[in-house]
Amino acid sequence: MGRRGRRGLTLGQGAAGTAERESLERRWRERMSWAPELASLVTAGGAAREPFHRWIHLAQGFAPELVRLFLRQTRDRRLGATRGPLLDPFSGSGTVVIECARQSVHALGVEAAEPLVFLSAVMTETELPTLPALDDVADWISMADHLQAPLHRAALMLAVARQHTSAGKLNKNAPPLAPLLRQVAGMMKDDLRRPLPRRNLVLRGDARSMDMIADAGVAGILTSPPYLSRHDYVQILRPYQRVYRRWYPDELRIADCGLRIAGTHAGQRRAHPSVRGAKVSESNTHEAAVEARAALEEMGETRLAGVVTAYFNDLRRVLAECARVLRPRGVCWMVLGGARLKGVYIPPDLIAADLAELSGLRVEGVRVARNLIDVGRKLGRLGNVAPRECILMLMKR
């Protein structure tokens, strides 16, 4: 149900229908603009060539150049000065806080995964101590027992991660650990010859309940929430977590590093006139998400249906927190990716646009960097639609 052939398909057919998603696409279509020059900036590929950014290999992120673009376009808003720092509520590999440190701009990160918080912290060190000789030590557990300095421990975490694929699975063709560890340590030593000019912090926390940040406490936000069912974030981070827990066994496990993190809702805001067409159900779930969930349930995909509901409920709470901590007229850029789950089209960018304006943020633009899937499919009476990767540009009223 919901699939016919390969081209010109209709998505999410059946009793669930597509009316809500069609209406959503029509309402926002004129406010969306194609920006192919952003395609390379919404991916993490460029990070592998830049100091400090090249330490952590996470494909799920954006390029340091996007941070520089954000800073150039918001320079007159005095980011990092008396009006507060820049914030990334999903800090991940630390692209925002590290690039802002390189640019001497004050920034904060919030991150659920303790190993990533640790790695971001050690990047602020100024010198790498001499690494112990470990050529005769075969496995990472034995190596870990010889390492005490935080930077040495970080080097082992990074080396072990490099023996895994971008999906977090063991790569059988990876180099042996000892030479890989020396290579990683050499890279770190080269970067630390020019230490970061300022110390920006990444805090262990919850993007849905950032209680450590005061109301209107940040001048700008640049972030990318986890994409809907696109990556297994727990699996991706498992190599880092396993090594980290060897030294810090009492830390909490990474139960979920996506949007499903415990938190509180910052409360409903009065809807802006531009989102009068937005529909939110009694359970505070956007009707387009309810419709997509129903389409998946019709197909028997109850687990995916639950993921969709949880994802958008969490995203609503994240946007409410962003609205709370952002100062008036502060700017928020959010990188979001669309999804096609079992043939059911889901537009997180446009659902987020509605939820943002219901939370007290004004949508300044929806910039489409690229399509994530080349072949579009019909959505009800609309033409072909493909999942997009966008930058949602918001401003606090």
Q: Hey, which of 67-76, 126-135, 198-207, 265-274 has the most confident mean pLDDT? A: 198-207
- 149 or 15, greater pLDDT: 149
| pLDDT digits 0-9 by tens, 235-250 | 999 999 999 999 998 7
- What is the chain's mean pLDDT, rounded? 87
Window from 172-186, 270-284, 369-383 with minimum mean pLDDT: 270-284
- Could you give the CA distance from residue 9 to residue 23 in angstroms, rounded to a whole number? 18
Q: Is 116 helix (H, G, I), strand (E, B) or coil?
A: helix
Return contacts of 65-68, CB within 8 angstroms, 24+ apart. Answer: 65/40, 65/41, 66/38, 66/41, 66/42, 66/95, 66/222, 66/333, 66/335, 67/95, 67/96, 67/99, 67/100, 67/103, 67/222, 68/99, 68/103
Residue 230 clears pLDDT 90, i.e. is over it: no
Per-residue tokens: 295: 């389409």
Tell me how far CA of residue 91 lies from CA of 95, 119, 122, 206, in angstroms.
7, 11, 15, 11
Q: Please report, as a single letter, which amino acid is at residue 387.
A: P
| Residue 229: per-residue pLDDT | 67
Residue 281 clears pLDDT 80, i.e. is over it: no
The stretch 166-177 carries a mean pLDDT of: 93
| Residue 268: per-residue pLDDT | 33
| pLDDT digits 0-9 by tens, 347-367 | 999 999 999 999 999 999 999
Phi and psi at residue 5, to the nearest 5° = 70, -155
- Could you give the CA distance from residue 245 to residue 58 in angstroms, rounded to a whole number? 19
Residue 142 clears pLDDT 70, i.e. is over it: yes
Residue 282 clears pLDDT 90, i.e. is over it: no
Is the pTM higher than 0.75? The answer reads yes
Domains of the chain, each with CATH number or no CATH: 19-124+196-396 (3.40.50.150)
Q: Among positive and negative, which fits the CA dihedral 29, 34, 38, 40?
A: positive
Tell me how far CA of residue 144 lies from CA of 129, 194, 243, 248, in angstroms.
16, 27, 8, 11
Give the DSSP H or E segment for 246: helix 233-247
The stretch 284-303 carries a mean pLDDT of: 94
Window from 1-5, 215-219, 292-296 with minimum mean pLDDT: 1-5
Residue 369 clears pLDDT 90, i.e. is over it: yes
Q: Please report, as a single letter, which amino acid is at residue 148.
A: Q
- Could you give the CA distance from residue 216 to residue 129 in angstroms, rounded to a whole number? 41
Residue 262 clears pLDDT 70, i.e. is over it: no
| Residue 83: per-residue pLDDT | 67
| pLDDT digits 0-9 by tens, 183-225 | 999 999 999 999 999 999 999 999 999 999 999 999 999 999 9
Per-residue tokens: 61: 């992120």
The stretch 84-88 carries a mean pLDDT of: 93
Report residue 36's pLDDT band, with 50, 70 and 90 as the boundaries: very high
| Residue 73: per-residue pLDDT | 92
Q: Please report, as a single letter, which amino acid is at residue 163.
A: Q
